[in-house]
Amino acid sequence: MRGFLFREGLLGWENRRTGVGRTFLALLVLSGLATGCRHGELRGNVYSKSGVRYLIGQLPTNWQPASLKDNDLAWTARDTGHWIALNSTCDSYQDAPLSVLTQHLLMGFTERQLIEQETVPLDGREALRSHYQAKLDGVPTELLLAVMKKNGCIYDFTYVSPAGRFAEKLVDFEQFLRGFRTEAP
């Protein structure tokens, strides 16, 4: 299944008062690093796995690597509840429109409200960029999704923020996207 942010990834701000989120995040990061759950490898700003290789933009040091199921790479911003994730799917590639692929990323979210959607250039191709407000398990969130198809692969970029804090880390996500480039595997 193509990557989307799983429900547990948002507990960091759902249970902020109890401290459960920080504990969960620490366990999540440690378990992900210890088990090597990624199927690829990130060296510097270059990620590679079977059949795919890409460069990513640099994130500021306040972003901590995390592991999210069904994503190549993910980071969380310390103490804010923001997430950035990236996934590439080259096996079982579906040649569906970008709008349909975007809807796959919204599975599990309710009360979805599209704020803005536009086609933008990304690594020499068209990407569909979609800003949503939605709820996950009743928790209000804001999302910015970018979906692109290139050379037989689908690339999903996800930025998730707590409601009302969307702009806080948006520049970091934009920098991350600007640095994205595919390379021959």
Tens of pLDDT, residue by residue over 41-75, are 999 999 999 889 999 999 999 999 998 888 999 99
Q: Cβ distance 178 to 25 under 8 Å?
A: no
Q: Is residue 2 part of a domain?
A: no
- Domain harbouring 91, CATH code: 3.40.1000.10
Q: How many domains does the chain have?
A: 1
Task: Supply the range of the domain harboring residue 67.
Answer: 7-183
Q: Where are the beta strands (DSSP E) in the chain?
A: 41-43, 46-49, 52-55, 63-66, 73-77, 83-89, 109-122, 125-136, 139-150, 153-162, 181-183
pTM of the model: 0.80
Q: Is residue 45 part of a domain?
A: yes
Tens of pLDDT, residue by residue over 147-156, are 999 998 999 9
Structure tokens at 44: 């510097």
